[in-house]
Structure 1
Amino acid sequence: MPDGAQKTVQILELNAYGGDPQSREQSPLLKRRLRNAGASSVLFYREPIEMVSGSGAWMVAANGKRYLDFYNNVPSVGHCHPHVVAAVADQMARLNINTRYLNARVDDYLDRLKSTFPSALSNVVLTCSGSEANDIAMRVAIAATEKRGFIVAENAYHGNTAWVTEISPAALKKRTLPDHVIAIPAPASGPLAGKNFAASVERAISELTARGHGLAALICDSIFSSDGIFADPAGFLKEAVEKTREAGGLYIADEVQPGFARSGDSFWGFGRHGVEPDIVTMGKPIGNGFPMAGMATRPDLLERFCREVGYFNTFGGNPVAAAAGMAVLEVIESEGLQENARKIGGYLKSRLEDVERTTSGIGEVRGAGLFVGVDICSDGRPDAKKTSDVINKLKDKGILVGAAGLFANTLKLRPPLCLTQSEADIFADALRDALST
């Protein structure tokens, strides 16, 4: 943590619309949303946008303005990709039912998905959201280890069920973490990242043991998305995973954000680190906008969990979800999107490093593939307000980004995997302009 720096704002609050609900300047649609959703409404930007369509890396607002989407990694193969749309429409017109019936499309998808994992992870539970997937992963870990302690990164976000909120420091406004959860610093960039992170894990294990909880699992996403995107050096997770297993705990790889070829070097984020998880959770890009998610694990771990409790998900793993998921895998392969993420992501990062060298206001550029973090600073210190200003300046220029990081000062860039070099240039040039005005 930089000297004198403080965690000043919750990430969702930084990205969110915070206008007066009684303002007369609000559009009729904005008033309806706030009236309908109440306090749970989260809308982006100081002036929320009404979106009506999308294609590739672009979305179009109701007023006709086009926006380059560098934020929303859910439609990861491109907004409204025609192959995904056709697959979903075709299956919806045939049959959609729960998993208590056999359907070849579901198992064709599961076999294809499993081919991307280490062979030991041969059981998959499909769900509707990453939150559900992480909830089940936690329960599997507790059943397997008979312990209740969890280690997470200090600004992690893993979802919003009751269980998962407890291991999501980024989601907590006034509450503190419960006694069975310990948050540790994310691994800072540099050659000692792995050693320091492993030492933090080891201290947390000792503390959980002293508290009487023991260690159920270390859960982290392999690029530390909410902590500000920490990707390098590749391999830094190895020692921490070893310490976890020596203590009898499991390693849960939360791939909800970094998975599905986004890092470029590997299909899964954990692959960059040369580690094999005990459990992998997936969501967001898995269906390119169709609500689906999943958890992959070893059969022995899943059997132990199911021995104690029955589990069934009405909508998880339905044939339409399987059609969407299969179409996403097909597009990633047929269009070479993992290689595109590596190539265009490297180009984007080099352009951003040029901006860093030639303008003031950037502290560091980090990331892998098309998952990049850009720290916004003033006089070398994290500046959340300036970050918010930059986000809204970019929005005015027709570019969408969000923020992350312990100090809410990291631009979080996750454009669709189909991003082109010219679109990367559009963003880099716009960021330079936003920092110069």
Structure 2
Amino acid sequence: MPDSALLQRTELPRPDVSLADARTILGDFYGFHGEIRELGSQQDRNFLIDTGPERFVLKVTRAEYPYEELEAQNLAMIHLRALDLGLDIPEPIATLTGEYIPQCEIADNYYWLRVLTFLDGQPLTKQKFLAEEQVAALGDVTARIALGLRDFKHSGLDRELQWDLRRAGPVALHLLKSVTDQGRRDRIAKAMIMAVKRLQPVAPDLRLHAIHHDITDDNIVARPGAAGRLMPAGVIDFGDVINGWVVADLAVACAALLHHADGDPFFILPAVKAFHARYPLNLAELTALWPLIVARAGVLVASSEQQLSIDPDNEYVLGNAAHEREIFETATSVPHTLMEAAILDAVGLATAPSDTAFVTPLLPDVTPENLRLTDLSVTSPDLTRDDWADQEIDWKLLARAAIETGFSSTRYGEYRLSYTRPLSQQAPATFALHIDMCLPSGTRVVAPFDATLKPTGHHLILASADLALHLDGIDCGLEDGTSLAAGDSIGLVSGAAGGIGGLRIQLCRDTDLIPPLFARPQQSAVWGRLCPSPSRLLGIGIDAPAPQSETLLSRRKKSFAKPQKNYYAHPPQIERGWKEHLFDVKGRAYLDMVNNVSILGHGHPTLAAAVGHQWSLLNTNSRFHYAAVAEFSDRLAALAPEGLDTVFLVNSGSEAVDLALRLAWAHTGKRNVLSLLEAYHGWTVASDAVSTSIADNPRALETRPDWVHAVLSPNTYRGKFRGAGATDGYVAAVADVIAKIDDSGQGLAGFIAESVYGNAGGIPLPEGYLEQVYAMVRARGGVCIADEVQVGYGRLGHHFWGFEQQGVVPDIITTAKGMGNGQPLGAVITKREIADSLEREGYFFSSAGGSPVSCVVGMTVLDIMERENLQANAREVGDYLKARLEALGQRSPLVGAVHGMGLYLGLEFVRNRETLEPATEETAAICDRLLDLGVIMQPTGDHLNVLKIKPPLCLASESADFFAEALEKVLSEGW
């Protein structure tokens, strides 16, 4: 039990020292003068003074705290400063008379004084989100300080301290007297009793030496690192330095992390791993870590309540109270056994639990060969359209599977699509820790091992010394506490006579725990060890195979050409989609905000049926005579302006651009082509030649062939000309290049440009730009090509084609991507005389572009777009989303501009709105954070600092809200 002096100290208010008092102290004792303000503290008074050249912190401590303790704090800082830790540590400053800890009297009260150098930087506490590298860095800093203090000795370290986790239980119980909320008081008391109970067996093996004991997000000084993330650079506040348990230092740091964890206690594991890598902990310390974190959380909450009862105006305590309650809630949200297993797993010390021998099958009358399995995974062929959203779908499919033999079962370890949650910022619990069965009512159920029965209503628990079997759906007449031997009858599967009943089976190695039925994917491995598969009870292996995402990624890298990149460093394995949603193999739903290929959305049943039907009839190349190619060509020509009446069907946008350039050459007999800087048009030799985006090809500007003439990018946001007069400036730049071509006497074949600057982030061209440039090109006999592959086909909402926004009509239109909803399909639409020019060079065909299947796909896409009003949806939802993003830009200084229209938008991030310095690293980190929140997003533009927002045109307003809210969360909390 802590001594009375300690308990009395827990009830002391802060020193009664004003700003005027502090100013006098600093002038009289230290000769410091300057601006002064108070800093927060729980029981001290801290003041920051800025003298101009330097800044210092004045710490005023009540005289009840012994001098030796304060001296130990000063000397600990001096000791660490002498080591090469790679961290900043405050330096104690002496008074004018050479004292380091003088005493002064203010209003008949005596106080100790100390002055320390101030460390520049920011605390991590106000940044709600911390990235994994920040969490790991905090663990590593904690280990470095612990190692640095390992050999530090001082008599002031052996003291009674309310924060000493060796005394957490009795201290918390004392502090609980001030907690007025009975329910909260009981919860804290229960948590503390459980934590102390788990600590007692391992306490003798916990190492002791000098520790900081307060390395928290408040006491870490951080400075911007890569991607603008704050990274730990120094440690302050040595007020709790003590001889204590080494692992307590890590426990304090981990507890502080829990208010950044968004309710997920596994969030601390990178810190644990980093600490252990630098300062290895023994098994007892690793076992003690989570109980110590819970104990720290309990003391924090109880201490805040107690301090506010005696010092209700303490803004520092008031400010911390909410997140301290969040720490406690997260720390007590999971069982100790789970977190102890997770911690061991994180440091590579997890051990496989011993198998329990099952003497008798649970269902002796069920023949394994008669058991039918249901597939409820993401790739299940039995889940169609969106029936996975039906809350009863699991049991419906299970019952359907039981029709043939009367016996069916789900699979343990399956990530069930039926438990996915679209538009959720957290991954839902989808990993099945149990199996469900349909079988005839009255089927016998027997004990598979010796156990004691614990009925709780319809829920039965058979508990042995190290394993519990949980059962639901049994008629059991046995009493609580009945001892059962292996083979003894438990009861019968309930249900009407001759009917089908349901049975739920689950195992758990923690006999005091009622486990969840499902685990979150990130916790599934640890939960799987606590709740092993019950399939052995049935005498058959019916577990779902584990996803092989990492193995598949390795295979992809081995056999798939390296230049064919994938999104994300650690990509989710996506195997299913529905409308604007994508699903990975673990049942995580993502909002697809970048997939302009799937213009209709994913998994459209009408398109799937049309494709399947056509495949069952015919698929061949376009040189055969069949109806679909004529019908689709007519429909495409009808979509184009008058005069553009001839269609080529090809496989892709790159092929369409390549063909358009060939048409320009054939029609004009010239070779020179104008294209825009920062543009992207494709990957074939010709389409790549007119692409100048250095994001897609870092050597683009130095490797263009001599027939390509790149003109100044008409980027009205960050280009050379902005605002009024921008059009004239950019048109004049084109005129200069054309003049040089004129002087060469080689002539001009044409000009190609996206009608909206798609690759740069959907930036509109300057008003009237295309009209003037087209006129100059045509005056020289050249043709004008509108690349509509990304920006056309209804995506802009207000216009079907992007060039309509400029009020022009091109000579050639190229389109692809959305027109096939993912099927390889592109088109060139042009004038008859331009198309016929190609015949001088021979005939043309594209094997898959005009095939029956491709044509049916193209027509079905147009049908669905019309029937579902997708262009109108792009306009309405796109305008709504753009307004939300613009409002977000008013609150976040990182947002430079919102470009585009409809559902082709670009959100540009800059570090400075005046210089427009691109926030490239921040944009990449923001995309990674959005993925964690359930949004697929990627950067674009030459500086890769623009979010390319081009989702399926079926995007619902609720999904637009989800994206905007996720983005606001990232920009406000960090990335």
Q: Same fold by TM-score, threshold 0.5 exceeded?
A: yes
CA distance in 2, matches of 1:316, 1:283: 10
CA distance in 1, matches of 2:634, 2:725: 39
Please show how residues 377-416 of structure 1 align to structure 2 within 5 Å.
Answer: 377-380=910-913, 381-416=917-952
Q: Secondary structure at the match of 1:378?
A: coil
Identify the residue that residue 255 of structure 1 maps to in structure 2. Answer: 788
Give the conservation status (yes or no) of the 8 Å contact 1:52–1:62.
yes
CA positional deviation for 1:302: 1.1
Residue 568 (structure 2) pairs with residue 32 (structure 1)? no
Give the conservation status (yes or no) of the 8 Å contact 1:187–1:230.
no
Residue 715 (structure 2) pairs with residue 188 (structure 1)? yes
CA positional deviation for 1:90: 1.1
CA distance in 2, matches of 1:378, 1:134: 36
CA distance in 2, matches of 1:126, 1:314: 9
Percent sequence identity is 38
Structure 1 stretch displaced more, 349-358 or 404-413: 404-413
Give the conservation status (yes or no) of the 8 Å contact 1:128–1:315.
yes
Please show how residues 53-68 of structure 1 align to structure 2 within 5 Å.
Answer: 53-68=576-591
CA distance in 1, matches of 2:761, 2:962: 23
TM-score (norm 1): 0.91
CA distance in 2, matches of 1:434, 1:28: 31
1:110 paired residue among 623, 633, 645? 633
Structure 1 stretch displaced more, 383-392 or 167-176: 167-176
Identify the residue that residue 906 of structure 2 maps to in structure 1. Answer: 373
Q: Secondary structure at the match of 1:54?
A: strand
CA distance in 2, matches of 1:197, 1:418: 36
Identify the residue that residue 420 of structure 1 maps to in structure 2. Answer: 956
Identify the residue that residue 283 of structure 1 maps to in structure 2. Answer: 816
Structure 1 stretch displaced more, 113-122 or 233-242: 233-242
CA distance in 1, matches of 2:880, 2:919: 26
Give the conservation status (yes or no) of the 8 Å contact 1:282–1:294.
yes
CA distance in 2, matches of 1:123, 1:187: 30
Identify the residue that residue 697 of structure 2 maps to in structure 1. Answer: 172
CA positional deviation for 1:26: 8.4
Residue 970 (structure 2) pairs with residue 434 (structure 1)? yes
Q: Secondary structure at the match of 1:243?
A: helix
CA distance in 2, matches of 1:310, 1:85: 33
Identify the residue that residue 306 of structure 1 maps to in structure 2. Answer: 839
Give the conservation status (yes or no) of the 8 Å contact 2:727–2:767.
no
Give the conservation status (yes or no) of the 8 Å contact 2:594–2:949.
yes
- The C-alpha deviation readout for 1:350-390, integer Å capped at 9, x for no partner, is 00001000112100111111100111111232111111111
Give the conservation status (yes or no) of the 8 Å contact 2:597–2:818.
yes
Identify the residue that residue 97 of structure 1 maps to in structure 2. Answer: 620
Give the conservation status (yes or no) of the 8 Å contact 2:761–2:900.
no
CA positional deviation for 1:400: 1.0
RMSD: 1.7
Give the conservation status (yes or no) of the 8 Å contact 2:673–2:749.
yes
Identify the residue that residue 829 of structure 2 maps to in structure 1. Answer: 296
Give the conservation status (yes or no) of the 8 Å contact 1:232–1:367.
no
CA distance in 1, matches of 2:745, 2:697: 24
CA positional deviation for 1:235: 4.7
Question: Which sections of structure 2, spanning at least 5 residues, go unmatched?
Answer: 1-547, 717-722
Give the conservation status (yes or no) of the 8 Å contact 1:151–1:219.
yes
* Shift in alpha-carbon separation, 1:148–1:342, aligned structure 2, 3 A: same
Residue 799 (structure 2) pairs with residue 266 (structure 1)? yes
Structure 1 stretch displaced more, 219-228 or 198-207: 198-207
Residue 597 (structure 2) pairs with residue 74 (structure 1)? yes
Identify the residue that residue 91 of structure 2 maps to in structure 1. Answer: none
* Shift in alpha-carbon separation, 1:343–1:433, aligned structure 2, 3 A: same
CA positional deviation for 1:188: 2.8
Identify the residue that residue 16 of structure 1 maps to in structure 2. Answer: none
CA positional deviation for 1:196: 3.0
Q: Secondary structure at the match of 1:321?
A: helix
CA positional deviation for 1:327: 0.8
Give the conservation status (yes or no) of the 8 Å contact 2:881–2:961.
yes
CA positional deviation for 1:420: 1.1
TM-score (norm 2): 0.41
Structure 1 stretch displaced more, 45-54 or 224-233: 224-233
CA distance in 1, matches of 2:841, 2:550: 51
Q: Give the 4+ runs in structure 1 shifted more than 4 A.
A: 232-235
Identify the residue that residue 570 of structure 2 maps to in structure 1. Answer: 47
Aligned residues: 413
The one-letter amino acid paired with 1:122 is D
2:657 paired residue among 134, 155, 161? 134
2:666 paired residue among 124, 143, 149? 143
Residue 340 (structure 2) pairs with residue 340 (structure 1)? no
CA distance in 1, matches of 2:955, 2:818: 15
CA positional deviation for 1:317: 0.3
CA positional deviation for 1:152: 1.3
The one-letter amino acid paired with 2:734 is V
Give the conservation status (yes or no) of the 8 Å contact 2:681–2:787.
yes
- The C-alpha deviation readout for 1:241-291, integer Å capped at 9, x for no partner, is 112212221110111101110001111111111111100111110110111
Identify the residue that residue 646 of structure 2 maps to in structure 1. Answer: 123
The one-letter amino acid paired with 1:344 is V
CA distance in 2, matches of 1:418, 1:316: 25
Give the conservation status (yes or no) of the 8 Å contact 1:365–1:372.
yes
* Shift in alpha-carbon separation, 1:222–1:427, aligned structure 2, 3 A: same
CA positional deviation for 1:168: 1.0
Q: Secondary structure at the match of 1:27?
A: helix
CA distance in 2, matches of 1:47, 1:30: 9
CA positional deviation for 1:308: 2.2
Give the conservation status (yes or no) of the 8 Å contact 1:228–1:404.
yes
Q: Secondary structure at the match of 1:125?
A: strand
The one-letter amino acid paired with 1:53 is R
Give the conservation status (yes or no) of the 8 Å contact 1:33–1:41.
no
* Shift in alpha-carbon separation, 1:45–1:359, aligned structure 2, 3 A: same
CA distance in 2, matches of 1:404, 1:73: 13
Residue 885 (structure 2) pairs with residue 352 (structure 1)? yes
Give the conservation status (yes or no) of the 8 Å contact 1:34–1:41.
no
Identify the residue that residue 201 of structure 1 maps to in structure 2. Answer: 734
Q: Secondary structure at the match of 1:49?
A: coil
Give the conservation status (yes or no) of the 8 Å contact 1:193–1:236.
no
* Shift in alpha-carbon separation, 1:149–1:86, aligned structure 2, 3 A: same
Structure 1 stretch displaced more, 227-236 or 388-397: 227-236
* Shift in alpha-carbon separation, 1:121–1:434, aligned structure 2, 3 A: same
Question: Which fold has the larger relative contact order, with Cα–Cα distance below 8 Å and residues 6 or more apart in sequence?
Answer: 1
Q: Secondary structure at the match of 1:59?
A: strand
Higher gyration radius (CA): 2
Structure 1 stretch displaced more, 239-248 or 284-293: 239-248
Identify the residue that residue 235 of structure 2 maps to in structure 1. Answer: none
CA positional deviation for 1:184: 2.2
CA distance in 1, matches of 2:782, 2:726: 21
CA distance in 1, matches of 2:754, 2:569: 29
Q: Secondary structure at the match of 2:620?
A: coil
Give the conservation status (yes or no) of the 8 Å contact 2:596–2:817.
yes
* Shift in alpha-carbon separation, 1:26–1:266, aligned structure 2, 3 A: closer
Identify the residue that residue 543 of structure 2 maps to in structure 1. Answer: none
Q: Secondary structure at the match of 2:905?
A: strand
- The C-alpha deviation readout for 1:145-167, integer Å capped at 9, x for no partner, is 11111111211111111121111
The one-letter amino acid paired with 2:938 is G
CA distance in 2, matches of 1:234, 1:103: 44
Give the conservation status (yes or no) of the 8 Å contact 2:648–2:827.
yes
